């Protein structure tokens, strides 16, 4: 007989795996996960990224193989980033049909058609010799409107190569509207825009700089958001929706769960988040030292994004996580 009369016992709903599964509030779907991948021009074999163990710069051939793995795992899509051999001040490789990002997009499109959702990063930082997300004016500042002209050309080039989704990530004012007009005028009204709506000037991007062989000089605080701000993200959301965004995103992920929740509550369109390179690298480093259970931490972190309101999660662990989920694992 129980010592106390406790009519309310929340532990009743935690007593067994079937009971916990029955009342679980948040579940992960493999199709909600997107795999970011890097493809390197001139590479003859995949190049490991030292700060992101398990992630590589792909060749065109290994990229196709990764696409097959992603399709088999049931992930929602692939987000492509290009790593060119040559860069210049205006990022001309980004609009060149023979540029590495457009070639990789075309290669995946030819291989998979509509079976695998192909997403492309729409930004100049990988292609400029100064590493900024736009072209610079005579004083060395990022020229917002001149950059928009290039973004419009990039969007059309990526759509022509076969992209289903373009992801403008440069945080230029008006980028979504300009890209939407350019796509529609070129006859690509069915290409989706995944807007990087709230992209913060975060220290968590460090390993990504290695992944794309970044040439960044200075920082991006004049166009990416101040980590201290939240209301600003809701304003950016209003603007992106008005300009035609089909999906909106908060980046990074875990340090900005509060922003993600507020954006999800206010957004009339699906919401994505990005578990960025620094988040992934910290998990990898701690797991390699035996300090954490890698699988459980990855699934717990991804579940936190879904619980906070994300419909879509970009993560470098997408294939693994999708496989674990299909095998019945959960956080």
Catalytic (active-site) positions: 199, 251
Which residues make beta-bridge pairs with 227? none
Q: What are phi and psi of 290, to 5 degrees?
A: 75, 15
Record the tokens describing residue 58, joined without a space: 């792909």
| 294 class by beta-carbon count within 10 Å (0-12 exposed, 13-18 middle, 19+ buried) | middle
Beta-carbon count within 10 A of 91 CB: 26
Which residue, 329, 202, 221, is CA-closest to 278? 202
120-152 per-residue burial string, b: 16 or more CB within 10 A, e: under 16: bbbbbbbbbebbbbbbbeeeeebbbeebbebbb
Ordered DSSP codes for 261-328: HHHHHH-SS-EEEEE-HHHHHHHHHHHHTTSS-HHHHHHHHHHHHHHHT-SEEEETTHHHHHHHHHTT
């Amino acid at each position: 007989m129980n010592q106390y009369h406790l009519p309310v016992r929340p532990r009743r709903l935690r007593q067994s795996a079937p009971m916990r599964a029955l009342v679980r509030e948040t579940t992960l779907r493999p199709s909600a996960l997107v795999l970011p991948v890097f493809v390197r021009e001139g590479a003859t074999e995949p190049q490991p990224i030292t700060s992101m163990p398990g992630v590589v710069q792909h060749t065109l051939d290994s990229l196709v193989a990764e696409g097959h793995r992603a399709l088999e795992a049931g992930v929602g899509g692939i987000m492509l980033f290009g790593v060119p051999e040559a860069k210049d001040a205006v990022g001309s490789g980004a609009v060149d049909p023979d540029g590495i990002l457009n070639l990789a997009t075309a290669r995946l499109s030819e291989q998979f058609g509509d079976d695998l959702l192909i997403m492309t990063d729409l930004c100049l930082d990988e292609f400029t010799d100064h590493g900024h997300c736009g072209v610079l004016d005579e004083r060395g500042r990022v020229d917002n409107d001149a950059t928009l002209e290039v973004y419009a050309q990039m969007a059309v080039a990526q759509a022509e190569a076969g992209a289903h989704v373009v992801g403008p990530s440069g945080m230029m004012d008006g980028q979504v509207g300009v890209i939407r007009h350019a796509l529609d005028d070129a006859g690509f009204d069915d290409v989706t825009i995944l807007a990087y709506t709230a992209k913060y000037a975060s220290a968590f991007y460090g390993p990504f700089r290695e992944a794309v062989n970044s040439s960044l000089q200075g920082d991006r605080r004049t166009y990416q958001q101040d980590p201290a701000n939240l209301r600003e993200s809701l304003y950016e959301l209003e603007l992106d929706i008005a300009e035609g965004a089909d999906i909106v995103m908060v980046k990074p992920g875990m340090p900005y769960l509060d922003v993600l929740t507020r954006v999800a509550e206010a957004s009339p369109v699906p919401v994505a988040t990005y578990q960025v390179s620094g988040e992934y690298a910290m998990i990898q480093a701690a797991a390699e030292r035996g300090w954490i259970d890698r699988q459980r931490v990855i699934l717990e972190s991804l579940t936190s994004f879904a619980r906070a309101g994300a419909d879509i999660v970009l993560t470098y662990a997408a294939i693994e996580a999708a496989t674990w989920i299909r095998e019945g694992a959960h956080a």
